[in-house]
């Protein structure tokens, strides 16, 4: 299909810098997610890719060739908007077939392709309805079909699930991923939901105030974040402050954290202060005669059905959140011994240099 | 009667009184007058007759004037639409101070009184007026153009003053079209012309339709502009009607002409509304 690259994109709105040196790459057939809080520049990036905005600096290439000069109507990209942007005066079938009509696609051919697209997103029977006569979930699928029917070289999706309720979101999420993989279309996907990003993507770009904080696979983003911001944004996390760390061999550190001395892996080249990332699921309460990694005191505890959420205060002032089995006896104020999967602990800077 | 319905009734009293006093009463009065016999020493006679209507419908002259009135108004409406759309487009994209200034410019034709405005046109377009003198000084024309007392000037002057009535509703409709729709259509391969044809134009129809109706009705009923700028040569229904009512004092015949014009206008407007109802239905988001 197509390899798409954004190289050092810069974009300003008046004097506000919306994009600063954004570099991304989607290999052919990959789904790349832009993940970040509202206002960090995800939509701006996508709109530059689509050709709705001109970046002030940088380049966008498709299979190695710059497409910056190409207007959006000649890029051949499919775009799915957050508010769907269905044409309110056209029926479902007319919306889906609009692009084909512009290409002067012959009538029978067009009817067949629209029919296929309708099947694909399971909208049969709704072809003659107007957008306002169908539900939000159905509108969202029309938007998807409308983008896919053109067999675009690149699919751009801007928070396509944001306006759906939780159950539909799950369903449409898998639909999007399936369709994207079946057709092998390269795609950029914008979301502020980390679980969505994790589950769907080949690559994730975590964005922070107009910059790409980290661009890597979901696994790497989650387990080996380059800074605290990324770890925070990709899931539940405990951070333990470490005062003076020194590298011992590449990416290995001997540190003291939470009152314990241990050896962990981390970002290369750290020096001085750092943060130890410990995901809650890598922690558990120690069995009675087991050697503990941390010893502390339970300060919070909540039963949530499938498990219990506990917060443990450590002697050096740090806290650890962890989940315990639902029937383990835990009480606020009790001493707690915690075991950590050391292989999964990760040392990183507070803020990447 | 609950307090709520009583309040509703109370609140609608002014509207009902207003409509009754200023619409139902005069129209009933007009209709009644149009069936009166002509008077000899008074403006109308004591008996009733349908002769005025048979006279109007049987005389090609009145058909001609009626047709001219309706067609002129139609021409004014279409020209107004063509002139107003780009203005409405710019207005709909403008924000802040620029929008305020644009609004002021657009409604400026309405800020001068109807007589002053039309005398202005007379002065500007007179044979030895500034327009002709400038054109001659620039060597564009050799002899002064006869602009005043032509149908063309009437149309021009009406378009000028009715533009705000077209711009404002269209501006409103255009502001309601989300930018993402034009972007979506562009991403599907539409050129700027195609975006305009397929998205902007149909979705602005909820502004175009009321704008056209408003301008048409105003143009049909315009009196001062055709009377002052059209001269004696080109009569339209309103000038004819005023002539009957205040010139020859034939109130019954004048009323019949007025009713004929009103009914014709209503027929045109209703037909237009029905023909365009599909477009309207689709575009209502
Ligand atoms: N047209 C605009 N004019 C001025 N500022 C804008 C405009 N569009 C977006 N911004 C600003 O740029 C930043 C990034 O916006 P956006 O890319 O939409 O963020 P995201 O999609 O990640 O929520 C935001 O702070 C936003 O306020
Ligand atoms: Mg956004």
- What pLDDT digit, counting tens, does each position of A22-41 carry? 999 999 999 999 999 999 99
What pLDDT, on the 0 to 100 scale, is given for residue A226?
96
* Tally of domains in chain B: 1
Place of tokens 């998205």: B199
Side by side, which strands form the sheet with A31-35? Answer: A77-80, A154-158, A186-191, A31-35, A203-208, A211-216
Domain with CATH 3.40.50.300 in chain A: 4-228
| Distance in angstroms (rounded) separating the CA atoms of residues A47 and A229 | 25
| Distance in angstroms (rounded) separating the CA atoms of residues A329 and A72 | 61
Option in A83, A90, A98 nearest B180 (CB): A83
φ, ψ (nearest 5 deg) of residue B167? -65, -45
CATH no. for residue B200? Answer: 1.10.3720.10
CB A320 within 8 A of CB A311: yes
| Distance in angstroms (rounded) separating the CA atoms of residues B97 and B217 | 33
Using the predicted structure, report yes or no on whether residue A171 has a pLDDT greater than 90: no
| Distance in angstroms (rounded) separating the CA atoms of residues B272 and B81 | 15
The chain A residue lying nearest B180, using CA atoms, is A85
A78 touches chain B (CB under 8 A): yes
Would the CB of A41 count as within 6 Å of ligand 1?
yes
Atom of ligand 1 nearest to the CA of A42: 22
The two three-digit tokens of residue A285, written as one number: 């309460």
Min Cα distance B199 → chain A (Å) is 7
| Distance in angstroms (rounded) separating the CA atoms of residues B153 and B261 | 22
B252 located within any domain? yes
Place of tokens 């003659």: A128
Determine the structural domain holding residue B171 and report its residue range: 64-284
CA atoms within 13 A on the CB side of A306: 0
Q: How many CB pairs under 8 A join A and B?
A: 66
Using the predicted structure, report yes or no on whether residue A261 has a pLDDT greater than 70: yes
Query: Among A14, A17, A44, which residue has the most ligand 1 atoms within 8 Å of its CB, making it the best to mutate?
Result: A44
User: In the beta sheet, which residues pair with residue A190?
Assistant: A34, A158
Task: Kindly write down the DSSP assignment for every residue of B114-137, as one continuous string.
Answer: HHHHHHHHHHHHSTTSHHHHHHHH
Residue nearest to atom 27 of ligand 1 (CA): A39
B12 located within any domain? no
What pLDDT, on the 0 to 100 scale, is given for residue B159?
97
CB A284 within 8 A of CB A338: yes
- Over its length of 285 residues, how does chain B's per-residue pLDDT go in tens digits? 688 899 999 999 999 999 999 999 999 999 999 999 998 888 888 899 999 999 999 999 999 999 999 999 999 999 999 999 999 999 999 999 999 999 999 999 999 999 999 999 999 999 889 999 999 999 888 888 898 999 999 999 999 999 999 999 999 999 999 999 999 999 999 999 999 999 999 999 999 999 999 999 999 999 999 999 987 777 899 999 999 888 888 999 999 999 999 999 999 999 999 999 988 888 875
Query: Among A9, A39, A206, which residue has the most ligand 1 atoms within 8 Å of its CB, making it the best to mutate?
Result: A39
Report the separation in Å between the CA atom of B165 and the middle of ligand 2, taken as the mean of its atom positions: 37
CB atoms within 10 A of CB B68: 16
- What's the mean per-residue pLDDT of chain A? 93
Option in B180, B194, B202 nearest A81 (CB): B180
What is the pLDDT averaged over residues A280-291?
Answer: 90
CATH numeric code, A237-349:
2.40.50.140
| Distance in angstroms (rounded) separating the CA atoms of residues B189 and A150 | 10
Residue nearest to atom 18 of ligand 1 (CA): A43
Name the architecture of domain A4-228: 3-Layer(aba) Sandwich (3.40)
What pLDDT, on the 0 to 100 scale, is given for residue A99?
96
Would the CB of A43 count as within 6 Å of ligand 1?
yes
Q: What angle do CA B130, B135, B137 make, to 5 degrees?
A: 90
Min Cα distance A40 → chain B (Å) is 20
Domain with CATH 2.40.50.140 in chain A: 237-349
- What pLDDT digit, counting tens, does each position of A211-258 carry? 999 999 999 999 999 999 999 999 999 999 998 778 888 888 998 888
- What pLDDT digit, counting tens, does each position of A334-343 carry? 999 999 999 9
φ, ψ (nearest 5 deg) of residue B80? -60, -45
What pLDDT, on the 0 to 100 scale, is given for residue B285?
57
Chain A, residues 35-54, CB within 8 A of chain B, namely 50-52
What pLDDT, on the 0 to 100 scale, is given for residue A245?
75
| Distance in angstroms (rounded) separating the CA atoms of residues B154 and B151 | 5
A150 touches chain B (CB under 8 A): yes
Would the CB of A87 count as within 6 Å of ligand 1?
no
B31 located within any domain? no
Would the CB of A173 count as within 6 Å of ligand 1?
no
Residue nearest to atom 6 of ligand 1 (CA): A13
Would the CB of A19 count as within 6 Å of ligand 1?
no
């Amino acid at each position: 299909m197509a390899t798409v690259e954004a190289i050092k994109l810069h974009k300003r709105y008046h004097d506000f810098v919306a994009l600063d040196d954004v570099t991304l790459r989607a290999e052919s057939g990959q789904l790349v997610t832009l993940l970040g809080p509202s206002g960090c520049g995800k939509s701006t990036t996508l709109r530059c890719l689509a050709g709705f905005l001109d970046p002030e600096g940088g380049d966008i290439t498709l299979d190695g060739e710059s497409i910056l000069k190409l207007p959006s109507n000649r890029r051949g990209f499919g775009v799915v908007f957050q508010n769907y942007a269905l044409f309110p005066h056209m029926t479902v079938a007319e919306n889906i077939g609009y692009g084909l009509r512009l290409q002067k696609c012959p009538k029978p051919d067009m009817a067949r392709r629209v029919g296929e697209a309708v099947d694909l997103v399971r909208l049969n029977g709704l072809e003659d309805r107007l957008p306002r006569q169908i539900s939000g979930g159905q509108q969202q699928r029309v938007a998807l079909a409308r983008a896919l029917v053109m067999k675009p070289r690149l699919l751009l999706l801007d928070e396509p699930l944001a306006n759906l309720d939780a159950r539909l979101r799950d369903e449409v999420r898998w639909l999007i991923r399936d369709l994207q993989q079946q057709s092998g279309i390269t795609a950029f996907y914008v979301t502020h939901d980390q679980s969505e990003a994790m589950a769907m993507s080949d690559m994730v770009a975590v964005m922070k105030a107009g910059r790409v904080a980290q661009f890597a696979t979901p696994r790497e983003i989650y387990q080996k974040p380059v800074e605290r911001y990324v770890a925070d944004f990709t899931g539940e996390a405990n951070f333990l402050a470490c005062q003076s760390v020194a590298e011992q061999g590449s990416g290995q550190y001997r540190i003291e954290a939470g009152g314990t001395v241990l050896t962990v892996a981390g970002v290369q080249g750290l020096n001085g202060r750092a943060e130890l990332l410990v995901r809650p699921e890598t922690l558990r309460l120690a069995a009675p005669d087991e050697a503990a990694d941390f010893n502390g005191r339970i300060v919070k505890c909540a039963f949530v059905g499938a498990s219990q959420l506990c917060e443990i205060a450590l002697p050096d002032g740090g806290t650890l959140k962890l989940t315990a089995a639902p029937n383990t006896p835990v009480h606020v104020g009790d001493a707690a011994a915690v075991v950590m999967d050391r292989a999964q602990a990760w040392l990183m800077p507070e803020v990447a240099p | 009667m609950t307090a709520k319905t009583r309040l509703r009734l109370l609140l609608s009293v002014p509207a009902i009184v207003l409509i009754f006093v200023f619409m139902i009463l005069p129209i009933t009065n007009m209709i009644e007058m149009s069936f009166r016999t002509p008077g000899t020493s008074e403006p109308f006679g004591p008996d009733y007759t349908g002769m005025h209507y048979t006279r109007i419908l049987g005389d090609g002259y009145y058909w001609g004037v009626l047709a001219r009135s309706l067609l002129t108004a139609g021409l004014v409406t279409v020209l107004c639409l063509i002139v107003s759309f780009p203005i409405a487009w710019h207005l709909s994209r403008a924000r802040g101070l620029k929008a305020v200034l644009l609004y002021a410019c657009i409604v400026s034709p309405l800020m001068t009184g109807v007589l002053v405005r039309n005398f202005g046109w007379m002065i500007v377009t007179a044979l030895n007026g500034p327009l002709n003198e400038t054109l001659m000084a620039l060597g564009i024309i050799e002899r002064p153009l006869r602009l005043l007392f032509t149908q063309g000037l009437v149309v021009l002057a009406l378009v000028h003053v009715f533009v705000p009535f077209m711009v404002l509703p269209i501006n409103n409709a255009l502001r309601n079209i989300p930018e993402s729709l034009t972007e979506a259509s562009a991403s599907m391969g539409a050129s700027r012309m195609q975006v305009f044809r397929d998205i902007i134009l149909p979705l602005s129809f909820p502004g175009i339709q009321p704008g056209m109706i408003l301008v048409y009705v105003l143009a049909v009923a315009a009196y001062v502009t055709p009377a002052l700028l059209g001269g004696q040569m080109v009569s339209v229904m309103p000038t004819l009607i005023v002539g009957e009512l205040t010139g020859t004092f034939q109130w019954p015949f004048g009323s019949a002409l007025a009713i004929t014009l009103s009914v014709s206008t209503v027929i045109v407007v209703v037909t237009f509304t029905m023909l365009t109802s599909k477009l309207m239905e689709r575009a209502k988001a």
